[in-house]
Chain A
């Protein structure tokens, strides 16, 4: 266990080093900061002085070390646009993204496991065949299209509201949660303050309603893939000797399906899930754009547009760190599910 974490730490250092090099390279590659500061009227002498005082005439590796040193002290410079530390800006936007990712991960898990299992144990059922057919379509549809279709249906087209709008109390309730006129499809509503820079959508019904459509469209990216994976794995596991043996021992079908078969089925699902959570963070760029969800993805896109380099670099580093942490957690989870794997990587 300790060995595993040590190894992971070394790997994380390597990954973060590579990311920092990439970040450093981007930072240096965009425009000339000296010219930006002094304007076109500056003399050559002034430019040289400034260049020297900023350390821009140092060798590249010295500049990198300075950058890395600052980064290690959590200093990515000030955002050009917000005029405050880049990391602080990200800390403000990240909770919204993480909440969105968490909600859609939970949605994906809650929907894909029962769907996949059902399709595997009732392969001839019409519902299974419909689900499997839809999953092929689902895999091929991009997230922004799903998002726009969801908005069209639930916010504009049929304007599904939670409470019947034609009754007095329903109308009043809809107004109370400000969800009259269809499901909310724009922004976060009024998230509730928790602590520090963290505002949450999970603490109120209105917040959850605002979260629903973005989270659903993000979940629909992953859902078909997971349903298909669980279905295929489950089918394979159901053919194994130990499932047949479980039947021969007179165990209940529910126990056979949901303990004996599902536990083995979940192993590759956990592996894929770990990778996909990273991808989910990436896909939030699109989802957040369509729903104008004020998260780190939307912030990142804006930062790129404004050439706000400190913010872009800080975002890259933070997301890289997030990946490393998530993958470590996934490996730990895998170890808990599969006794045949030891954390040092050797087979037991």
Chain B
């Protein structure tokens, strides 16, 4: 029997950058008006892992974001796929640098601890899809004085420890660190679920805890972002007619759209 565990998973509302990226005029952010908004793929996996970790022992998965009113959409999305509580630190997201974000998350973790709902595990995305700073997880662990594992794609609770598995430069790396801990997640280890209809309806009814930032944000010091020159599109003709089918299957397998076994079914 696994004891109930409380996981805090941190997400950020970011523009959906799957297609052509458009920058805001000041070069400080990605313009998401046409692409729509989402949470980063790493964070979607972090949410899934948080829900699984909490679910196995009847624990709690709390989702947290720092952002404006629109960021509530990302909190609801996380609630719809199984998170059980949500915290919204209200602020203009672009004014918060990585150190500011780490400080605010730490404040929430401490506050929740004082309110009797301490988080055993804090999960974050490895880096955000829009800014890609790679800093918050480590800064947060430092603030809280907790161990941190970076770039894991799987986590599992093992008693009072967390086992985190990720891909390192030389192969798979497995870490086992004591709780409470911080782990940053890279996508690839789990398949994030879509919300169900009852899940979505339930998510609408869960109250969201609103908190004000504890400090004045100092920002990240970013001067501006620029887009790389567009990669010339390379078209490769795989063949024509039925003869081309095996080549197409190869490509689809390489992309992970098809798994080798399934193609034959």
Task: Check if A and B associate.
Answer: no
Residues of A with Cβ closer than 8 Å to B?
none
Residues of B with Cβ closer than 8 Å to A?
none
